[in-house]
Homo-oligomer: A and B are copies of this chain.
């Protein structure tokens, strides 16, 4: 009987998709004692009020004796905002319906326990699967200490990302390129390697669809980077150049921030980005770096845009470098979702099975 309201709370939560890092998506509705909707809220951004607080405040006195339906267990700790469990109890809520227990070790069932102690009825695990899916990005970071990685590429139907002579602009049409800008707006950081900076001199922004723009990250072993590049203009968007210990002494163009890593690899970079509050990052790199990211478990999703073109070429570039696989049964497999048309192109979204998320 609570599914309908939980669905509504999930829909509210989704309004802030990609905007809440490092926090999860949360939505909440408050029903009065007669079951009528009297308040709605969602968590819009880190530092702003939690979903429950918004919904309770809208409900006001009508919350007394009513029900709070919330996608995530109310927090019980003092963070940037006071604990929600106390606010719920204070508002006189009689029943709390929760989709997901908060896996944050600071909460982890403590919110629910506190509510029950105060005599509030708690119904848990309502639409739990949908809530797990909605917060997969946040949950992945909590579990692994690394952001959820999306690897994006554009290719012709025959799996090419460049002509044999290296030309690659443009494979997909304007609508697909606009979609990539929106995808960036949903991510906290966009990552390329030094080769992409040298070859394409990209902007890597959401074209203003996210403010501030997602962090632009260059992972460069050598710091052999051009003196001038769009990425060095940090007025447009913040830029970080990550490198390993071998490049500590090397100079860098002024503008971007320097991020020294203990090892210059995707895994170390992802850990550094998680500790900066990134929940979701976008890999827009070349095939070699993409293959390493994949092998190090830094790719949770592939977004391949397939253009209605045939490019051919024995020497042409393809999306992924060597994965060092010898047997067909070792090939990383997963799920291809229903393709979505974008202009003349088709978006194929792929989720590798768990095995490829693990460190190998």
Interface residues of A (CB under 8 A from B): 155-160, 163-165, 167-171, 287, 291, 294, 302, 304, 306-316, 318-328, 331-336, 338-339, 341, 344-346, 348, 350, 352, 356
Contacts and interface: CB of A to CB of B under 8 A. Distances in A.
Nearest to A170: B328
A151 to B, nearest CB: 9
Contacts of A302: 157, 310
Contacts of A308: 333-336, 350
7 contacts: A155-B159, A163-B325, A306-B306, A310-B332, A312-B322, A313-B322, A315-B322
Contacts of A346: 336, 339, 348
Given A157-B348, A307-B336, A312-B323, 18 more contacts: A156-B331, A157-B304, A157-B336, A158-B159, A158-B304, A163-B326, A167-B326, A169-B328, A294-B310, A306-B306, A306-B348, A308-B350, A310-B331, A310-B350, A312-B324, A314-B321, A335-B344, A336-B345
Contacts of A167: 326-328
Contacts of A327: 163, 167
B163 A319 contact: no
Contacts of A312: 291, 294, 320-325
Contacts of A328: 163, 167-171
B163 A331 contact: yes
A145 B291 CA distance: 46
A294 to B, nearest CB: 7
A195 to B, nearest CB: 14
Given A157-B348, A336-B157, A336-B344, A310 B314 contact: no
A24 to B, nearest CB: 28
Which interface residue of A159, A291, A321 has the most chain B CB atoms within 10 A? A159
Contacts of A307: 333, 336
A314 to B, nearest CB: 5
A341 B326 CA distance: 28
Nearest to A351: B308
Contacts of A315: 322
A353 to B, nearest CB: 9
A178 to B, nearest CB: 18
B320 A318 contact: no
A267 to B, nearest CB: 18
Contact of A160 (B310, B311, B318, B336): B318
Given A157-B350, A328-B163, A338-B341, A313 B323 contact: yes
A158 B318 contact: yes
Contacts of A304: 157-158
Contacts of A294: 310, 312
A258 B240 CA distance: 65
Nearest to A338: B341
